[in-house]
């Protein structure tokens, strides 16, 4: 038999439940009203509204390298992009990036020469009797952490109007960790995402030089050859790879001055392709190789590789 106390408790619970239900209904109604009038910067809009907003924006800045083949593929380097430049050891990554620096002088390039140092970069030109290219750089490399990198980027933007940054190279920001591959992979992923955030935050283009695994010198490298982490290709907006032609002469492998510059990932348009260049007098010159050397199309064609961008997979 139900006691009086139990009956009273049951009534009190029912009254409380009714009040909570009424409160939920009032809250939901208020929430719907506020949402209908919400006008914050993160409000939900339609793609048509976004198109109209984009049309009203100033024309996007395009930084052209003056390498015609490369510019045709990329349609210029852009603000808020993270570009990876990779190649086998001694294939000319730093030299190619310095040639880009020469061609992009008007955008006041900022260099982080974490491997060679600024003195060594400039001395190479002086030793050839050339005037060193114009670029900005820290007077001294204090360290490679991202806070310091971002602080120097901000300084260069304010002082010189810098729009493009070269970092040489990734593994001076994330040191090699051969003992824990998983930790190395995650650290690289975090650094790639932060560099991309810096590029977006300050409206600059960051070109990051990266290393490859040891590869067969007889073939052009692909995205799977990037060293230590798949996040390098996944987080980059563009991946450019260099490969110098190799031949067997008398049973030995020789490296020629013929270079294949291969755009292997292009998040913006999806357009990829190869640009033939020749390394002459310390610089990259865009021109076709001697047809007698090799079947060019077959020799420079990169292997296909699948890369995941967020929830989307793309094959290059």
C-alpha–C-alpha distance, residues 134 and 277, integer Å: 23
CA 176 to each of CA 148, 169, 206, 211, 230: distance values in angstroms, whole numbers, following the listed order: 20, 12, 21, 11, 15
Across 146-155, 187-196, 249-258, 300-309, least confident range: 300-309
Give the pLDDT of residue 11: 62
Strands 306-309 and 312-315, by their bridges, are antiparallel
Q: Do the domain assignments include residue 39?
A: no
Could you list the residue range(s) of the whole structural domain that residue 137 is in? Answer: 63-315
pLDDT tens, position by position, 112-147: 998 888 888 899 899 989 999 999 999 988 767 899
Across 21-35, 96-110, 218-232, least confident range: 21-35
Give the pLDDT of residue 6: 75
Q: Do the domain assignments include residue 249?
A: yes
Give the pLDDT of residue 290: 58
The pLDDT of residue 216 is above 90 = no
Over the chain, what is the mean pLDDT? 83
Q: What percent of the chain has pLDDT over 90?
A: 45
Q: Do the domain assignments include residue 162?
A: yes
Q: Do the domain assignments include residue 208?
A: yes
- Asked if 110 and 137 touch (Cβ cutoff 8 Å), the reply is yes
The CATH number for 177's domain is 3.40.50.300
Q: Do the domain assignments include residue 53?
A: no
Number of domains forming the structure of the chain:
1
Q: Do the domain assignments include residue 4?
A: no
Q: Do the domain assignments include residue 257?
A: yes
pLDDT tens, position by position, 224-257: 888 878 889 999 999 999 998 887 777 777 888 9
Q: What is the DSSP letter of 104?
A: T
Of the spans 4-8, 245-249, 306-310, which averages the highest pLDDT? 245-249
C-alpha–C-alpha distance, residues 120 and 176, integer Å: 23
pLDDT tens, position by position, 270-298: 999 999 999 998 999 999 885 444 443 44
Q: Do the domain assignments include residue 291?
A: yes
């Amino acid at each position: 038999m139900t006691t009086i106390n139990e009956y009273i408790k049951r009534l009190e619970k029912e009254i409380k439940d009714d009040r909570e239900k009424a409160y939920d209904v009032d809250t939901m109604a208020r929430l719907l009203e506020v949402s209908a009038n919400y006008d914050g910067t993160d409000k939900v809009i339609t793609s048509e509204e976004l198109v109209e907003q984009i049309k009203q924006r100033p024309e996007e800045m395009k930084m052209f390298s003056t390498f015609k083949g490369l510019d045709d593929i990329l349609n210029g380097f852009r603000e808020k992009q993270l570009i990876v430049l990779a190649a086998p050891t001694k294939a000319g990554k730093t030299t190619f990036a310095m040639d880009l620096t020469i061609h992009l002088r008007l955008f006041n390039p900022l260099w982080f020469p974490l491997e060679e140092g600024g003195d060594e970069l400039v001395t190479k030109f002086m030793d050839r009797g050339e005037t060193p290219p114009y670029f900005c750089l820290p007077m001294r490399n204090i360290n490679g952490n991202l806070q310091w990198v971002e602080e120097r980027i901000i300084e260069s933007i304010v002082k010189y109007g810098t729009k493009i940054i070269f970092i040489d190279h990734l593994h001076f920001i994330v040191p090699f960790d051969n003992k824990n591959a998983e930790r190395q992979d995650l650290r690289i992923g975090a650094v790639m995402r932060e560099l991309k955030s810096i590029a977006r935050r300050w409206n600059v283009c960051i070109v990051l030089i990266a290393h490859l695994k040891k590869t067969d010198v007889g073939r052009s490298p692909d995205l799977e050859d990037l060293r230590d982490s798949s996040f390098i290709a996944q987080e980059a907006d563009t991946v450019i790879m260099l490969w110098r032609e190799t031949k067997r002469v008398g049973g030995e492998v020789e490296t020629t001055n013929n270079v294949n510059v291969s755009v292997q990932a292009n998040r913006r348009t999806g357009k990829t392709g190869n640009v033939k260049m020749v390394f002459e007098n310390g610089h990259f010159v865009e021109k076709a190789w001697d047809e007698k050397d090799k079947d060019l199309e077959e020799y420079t064609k990169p292997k296909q590789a699948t890369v995941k961008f967020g929830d989307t997979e793309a094959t290059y």
